[in-house]
Chain A
Amino acid sequence: DSGVTQTPKHLITATGQRVTLRCSPRSGDLSVYWYQQSLDQGLQFLIQYYNGEERAKGNILERFSAQQFPDLHSELNLSSLELGDSALYFCASSLSGASENEQFFGPGTRLTVL
């Protein structure tokens, strides 16, 4: 158990809908990362937050947004969903966001868009 929790574990929804994925980092970790794992694109970095502020952005679509709250949990919002958004979404956390800090991954949320 990495100490990172993600809810829900599974999510099934329809095209055009909006969903929110939630992540709670390990106790004491200030940085949260979101990754998308899909069959065609593999594992891709989406976005990183550090202590409530956006720190780095990757291949995140404009239909997607995220935030980190004062209690350090994070939410990833996916809107106007398309079939291609079906994927496993991982959250990871690290102590400070510095490159030498290990990132600990949660179990993921499997999103299925029908």
Chain B
Amino acid sequence: GNSVTQMEGPVTLSEEAFLTINCTYTATGYPSLFWYVQYPGEGLQLLLKATKADDKGSNKGFEATYRKETTSFHLEKGSVQVSDSAVYFCALLRGGSEKLVFGKGTKLTVNP
């Protein structure tokens, strides 16, 4: 079946540190891949997405590249801020399906 595995948290960083949150997937066909962010007390917001191999999604300084050969979609940011503290979810959407499949989420805390 389709599944997403992302690194266990929580992750604690200092401001301006480099962030990587690993995400790998298992899926039939060619899924679209997403990163969602959930700030405290809020719903999920789409952070970035990629719909085919080698696509790079980017938004707000975050980037992730769709790597078909390693079935990965790791999230990176060069310099995190306190305001980036949130829970990050990797997700996939298999072609022809509307069901988002989520990883378990990684909680990021950025300290000043």
Contacts and interface: CB of A to CB of B under 8 A. Distances in A.
Interface string B41-85: 111111001010000000000000000000000000000000000
A42 B102 contact: yes
B35 interface: no
A99 B102 contact: no
A58 B103 contact: no
Which of the listed residues A43, A55, A90 has the most CB atoms from chain B within 10 Å of its own CB? A43
A43 to B, nearest CB: 4
Q: Which 8 A-B pairs have the closest CB atoms?
A: A105-B43, A43-B102, A105-B44, A42-B104, A45-B99, A107-B43, A106-B43, A99-B93
A105 B32 contact: no
A43 B93 contact: no
Contact of B95 (A42, A97, A99): A99
Interface of B: 32, 36, 41-46, 49, 51, 89, 93-105
Interface residues of A, number: 27
A103 B42 CA distance: 15
A92 B103 CA distance: 17
Given A90-B43, A99-B93, A108-B43, A58 B99 contact: yes
Main secondary structure, interface of B, reads loop
29 contacts: A2-B43, A4-B43, A31-B98, A42-B102, A42-B104, A42-B105, A43-B105, A44-B102, A48-B98, A48-B99, A56-B98, A56-B99, A58-B99, A90-B43, A92-B44, A94-B98, A97-B98, A99-B32, A99-B94, A99-B96, A100-B32, A100-B51, A103-B100, A104-B46, A105-B36, A105-B45, A106-B43, A107-B43, A108-B43
Contacts of A105: 36, 43-45
B101 A45 contact: yes
B71 to A, nearest CB: 19
Contacts of A102: 46, 49
